[in-house]
Amino acid sequence: MRSWEEEIKAELLHIEKKTQKRQLHSIDFLNDSTIIVNGRKLLNLASNNYLGLASDERLIEASIRAAHEYGAGSTASRLIVGNYSLYEQVETELARWKKTESALIFNSGYTANVGIISTLVGRNDLVFSDKWNHASIIDGIVLSRAEMKRYQHNDLDHLEALLKKAPLHKRKLIVTDTVFSMDGDIAPLKGLVELKEKYGAILMVDEAHSSGVYGEGGEGLVHDLRLQEQVDVQMGTFSKALGSFGAYVTGKQWLIDYFVNKMRSFIFTTALPPAVLGSIQAAIHIVQQEEARRKRLHEYSQYFRTKLRDLGFNIGTSVTQIVPVIIGSNELTVQFSERLQERGIAAVAIRPPTVPEGTARIRFSLMATLTKDELDWAIDEIASIAQEMGLIS
Ligand code: PMP
ipTM, 2 decimals? 0.99
Contact between 115 and 189 (Cβ < 8 Å): no
pLDDT greater than 80 at residue 368: yes
What is the per-residue pLDDT for 22? 85
What is the per-residue pLDDT for 339? 97
CATH assignment, 18-51+291-388 = 3.90.1150.10
Q: By alpha-carbon position, which residue is closest to atom 12 of ligand 1? A: 109
Cβ neighbours of 367 (radius 10 Å): 26
Q: By alpha-carbon position, which residue is closest to atom 13 of ligand 1? A: 109
What is the per-residue pLDDT for 100? 93
> Phi, psi (5° rounding) for residue 293?
-65, -45
What is the per-residue pLDDT for 32? 75
Share above pLDDT 90 across residues of the chain, in percent, rounded to a whole number: 94
Q: Strands, DSSP E only, in the chain?
A: 27-29, 34-37, 40-44, 102-106, 126-130, 147-151, 172-177, 202-206, 233-237, 247-251, 322-328, 345-346, 348-350, 360-365
Q: Where are the alpha helices (DSSP H) in 71-182?
A: 85-98, 109-120, 135-144, 156-165
Structure confidence at residue 91 as a pLDDT band (50, 70, 90) = very high
pLDDT greater than 80 at residue 30: no
pLDDT greater than 80 at residue 29: no
**Residue from 105, 116, 136, 178 to probe ligand 1 pocket by mutation (most atoms less than 8 Å from CB):** 136
pLDDT greater than 80 at residue 355: yes
What is the per-residue pLDDT for 26? 87
**Residue 178 Cβ < 6 Å to ligand 1:** no
| Tens digit of each residue's pLDDT (9 = 90 or more) over 99-126 | 999 999 999 999 999 999 999 999 999 9
Contact between 92 and 281 (Cβ < 8 Å): no
Pairing of strands 172-177, 348-350: unpaired
| Tens digit of each residue's pLDDT (9 = 90 or more) over 174-213 | 999 999 999 999 999 999 999 999 999 999 999 999 999 9
What mean pLDDT, rounded, does the chain reach?
96
What is the per-residue pLDDT for 84? 95
What is the per-residue pLDDT for 342? 95
**Residue 244 Cβ < 6 Å to ligand 1:** no
**Residue 237 Cβ < 6 Å to ligand 1:** yes
Q: Break the chain into its structural domains and give their ranges.
A: 18-51+291-388, 57-289
Left (φ > 0), alpha (ψ -120 to 50) or beta: where does 184 sit?
A: left
What is the per-residue pLDDT for 23? 85
How confident is the model over 225-247, as a mean pLDDT? 97
CA of 109 to the centre of ligand 1 (A): 5
| Secondary structure element (H or E) that encloses residue 303, with its range | helix 291-311
Share above pLDDT 70 across residues of the chain, in percent, rounded to a whole number: 100
**Residue from 134, 137, 205, 363 to probe ligand 1 pocket by mutation (most atoms less than 8 Å from CB):** 134
What is the per-residue pLDDT for 122? 98
Q: What is the CATH class of 57-289?
A: alpha beta
CA of 312 to the centre of ligand 1 (A): 30
CA of 134 to the centre of ligand 1 (A): 7
How confident is the model over 321-346, as a mean pLDDT? 96
**Residue 108 Cβ < 6 Å to ligand 1:** yes
CA of 246 to the centre of ligand 1 (A): 9
Which atom of ligand 1 is found nearest the CA of 136?
Answer: 10
Between helices 85-98 and 57-70, what is the axis angle to 10°?
A: 140
pLDDT greater than 90 at residue 38: no
DSSP of 328-393, one letter per residue? E-HHHHHHHHHHHHHTTEE-EEE-TTTS-TT-EEEEEE--TTS-HHHHHHHHHHHHHHHHHTTS--
Pairing of strands 147-151, 360-365: unpaired
Q: By alpha-carbon position, which residue is closest to atom 9 of ligand 1? A: 109
**Residue 181 Cβ < 6 Å to ligand 1:** yes
Task: List the one residue out of 220, 218, 177, 174 whose CA is nearest residue 197.
Answer: 174
**Residue 207 Cβ < 6 Å to ligand 1:** no
pLDDT greater than 90 at residue 254: yes
Structure confidence at residue 220 as a pLDDT band (50, 70, 90) = very high
**Residue 208 Cβ < 6 Å to ligand 1:** yes
DSSP state of 350: E
Which atom of ligand 1 is found nearest the CA of 238?
Answer: 15
pLDDT greater than 90 at residue 393: no
315: amino acid identity, one letter: I
Q: By alpha-carbon position, which residue is closest to atom 15 of ligand 1? A: 109
Length of the chain: 393
Contact between 134 and 113 (Cβ < 8 Å): yes
**Residue 133 Cβ < 6 Å to ligand 1:** no
How confident is the model over 244-269, as a mean pLDDT? 97
CA of 391 to the centre of ligand 1 (A): 31
Q: By alpha-carbon position, which residue is closest to atom 5 of ligand 1? A: 181
Contact between 322 and 363 (Cβ < 8 Å): yes
Query: In angstroms, rounded to a whole number, what is the distance separating the alpha carbons of residues 89 and 86?
Result: 5
Contact between 205 and 189 (Cβ < 8 Å): yes
What is the per-residue pLDDT for 31? 76
What is the per-residue pLDDT for 14? 94
Q: By alpha-carbon position, which residue is closest to atom 11 of ligand 1? A: 109
Query: In angstroms, rounded to a whole number, what is the distance separating the alpha carbons of residues 52 and 170?
Result: 44
How confident is the model over 70-92, as a mean pLDDT? 96
**Residue 114 Cβ < 6 Å to ligand 1:** no
Query: In angstroms, rounded to a whole number, what is the distance separating the alpha carbons of residues 64 and 71?
Result: 10
How confident is the model over 360-368, as a mean pLDDT? 97
What is the per-residue pLDDT for 52? 96
CA of 167 to the centre of ligand 1 (A): 32
| Tens digit of each residue's pLDDT (9 = 90 or more) over 293-316 | 999 999 999 999 999 999 999 999
Task: List the one residue out of 287, 285, 298, 281 whose CA is nearest residue 216.
Answer: 287
